[in-house]
Homo-oligomer: A and B are copies of this chain.
Amino acid sequence: MPISGQSIIGSSQAHSQGAVFQAFDTVQGKQIEPDFHSAEPQDIERACALAQTAFDLYRATGQEARAVFLETIAQQILDIGDELILRAMAESGLPRARLEGEHGRTVGQLRLFAAVLREGSWNDARIDPALPERLPLPRVDLRLRNIAIGPVAVFGASNFPLAFSVAGGDTAAALAAGCPVVVKAHPAHPGTSELVGRAVQKAVAACNLPEGVFSLLTGVGNALGTALVQNPCIQAVGFTGSRQGGLALMQVAAARPQPIPVYAEMSSINPVYLLPAALAARVEAIAKGFADSVTLGAGQFCTNPGLVLGLAGADFDRFAQLAGAELMQRSAAAMLTTGIHAAYKQGVATLAAQDDVRQLARGVAADGYRAVPALFVTSGAAFLANPLLSAEIFGPVSLLVACASDAELLQVSEQLEGQLTVTLQMDGEDNALARRLLPVLERKAGRILANGFPTGVEVSHAMVHGGPFPATSDSRSTSVGSAAIYRFLRPVSYQNLGQDLLPAALQDANPLAIWQRRDGQLEK
């Protein structure tokens, strides 16, 4: 079935006459067929109303049924075959190997959430049995479990057309939690979105779930997303994108008659600390690893290392020289969209024009929409004085900051905004300085790495892809890994409800065989 260019509303296809747009191939520099038609207000209304109708039925399915559903989505995505990779390559400019990896990750995280559902701790089942003899007052029987928060609006991210888009991490977590999902497709990869959306639609039908469990709205412009977040059926929002976009959605959500949580992953420059012993011992390896990380995927990762902090001196100068030379050897890769390419060029030009910022390396000017890697250096004092130097530039560029002393390094650290990650390049002799930095860094970031580089986000149980504002809108959460399910749950307590009316997770017989916390102690 060819790509229709229409939104998916439950089990049917929209027939929108809304604004027409096409995807754009930044490698070939040309539009891609077919036309897409932006969802109209009635499409949004219908998708949200269907989600609301489906909600109670869907969340009542239980954890095994939802696990099977997630696995069915994974299989349906696999069944699309190479058409999906080819379409995603054309729409994103990303190479085959990267998209095949992302494809595996997308399928893998759906299966991870199936396993999380079956393990059952997501219920947070708690039982405080009645104490009828307690004095001065008897205790009632109290039992707590988590339930789904309600229909969730998910915004596909431009830079992960599979793993953080239609059936990506936000959708997988929300569906696992028992929330119907209405996705707003990113207009940069509408065909990829439709292919994956259809796979989810097929899985809904195959699992005999109510059609409103999933809809996919396609479109350009901000009005669609705003209307989606304003819709009273929507109870939470998942978003990965720009700071400006995330802030706008936060404001829309806070201004609703009933405010709702927004999980926006927005902006991070992911500082890398070059501690002295590590730098002295292995400056070449660090410079090479850094250059690989900053240019990976044309620098279009939320965890791209956009800032490097160290102590001024010969080793730091050597790093600057080596990293610059490495960067000059990296080829310029096509960016995701023409808009991202334009913003990157503008961002680099602005950085280059700042006082006390010196260019270390800048690749040869490239044609089309390719991103030329660049590296700059400044002093700790200049960094402290100029807030513009902390702004995220999405692409393969980084700023080195040479601090005059440990004290200045700590001062710069205190001034940092919230981050997704911070990285310490450190050897054993750096432990003392690392110990001074760690309390600060814990306040600043969601993930702290020793050695390695921040690009590459494992999808597992102990991952935090989150962090203090403006890295995200809600530092209490992660958007990657199994803990992401908690974003879409809320606790409900049942007092003296009979065993026959209690949910399975809270029955004394424990038919789900899950962990239950009884009088505060975990048991199974």
Contact = CB atoms under 8 A, between A and B. Distances in A.
A483 B451 CA distance: 35
8 contacts: A121-B522, A139-B458, A149-B475, A445-B492, A448-B495, A451-B496, A464-B492, A476-B489
Interface string A125-161: 0111000000011011011100101100000000000
A353 interface: no
A497 interface: yes
Nearest to A493: B464
A496 B460 contact: no
Interface of A: 55-56, 60, 101, 115-116, 119, 121, 124, 126-128, 136-137, 139-140, 142-144, 147, 149-150, 250-251, 254, 258-259, 261, 418, 431, 434-435, 438-440, 442-443, 445-452, 456, 458, 460-464, 466, 468-470, 473-478, 482-483, 489-498, 500-501, 515, 517, 519-522
A438 B501 contact: yes
Nearest to A454: B495
A501 B140 contact: no
Contacts of A137: 456
Nearest to A254: B254
Contact of A469 (B258, B418, B431): B258
Contacts of A150: 443
A353 to B, nearest CB: 25
B431 A462 contact: no
A483 B483 CA distance: 17
Given A142-B458, A443-B150, A463-B142, A116 B520 contact: yes
Contacts of A450: 494-498, 501
Contacts of A469: 258-259
A38 B144 CA distance: 41
Given A259-B469, A482-B520, A497-B450, A144 B492 contact: no
A251 B253 CA distance: 12
A460 B522 contact: no
Contacts of A443: 55-56, 150
A414 to B, nearest CB: 10
A483 to B, nearest CB: 6
Contacts of A474: 261
B492 A442 contact: yes
A119 B115 CA distance: 26
Contacts of A497: 448-450
A499 to B, nearest CB: 11
Given A60-B439, A259-B250, A519 B461 contact: yes
Contacts of A440: 56
A447 B493 contact: yes
A330 B268 CA distance: 61
A462 B522 contact: no
B144 A501 contact: no
Given A475-B490, A491-B483, A517 B56 contact: no
A482 B493 CA distance: 13
B261 A493 contact: no
Given A434-B501, A475-B490, A495 B461 contact: no
B517 A522 contact: no
A422 to B, nearest CB: 10
Given A119-B520, A140-B452, A461-B520, 16 more contacts: A56-B440, A56-B443, A101-B136, A115-B520, A116-B520, A119-B521, A124-B483, A140-B458, A250-B259, A259-B473, A431-B500, A446-B491, A462-B493, A464-B493, A478-B493, A515-B522
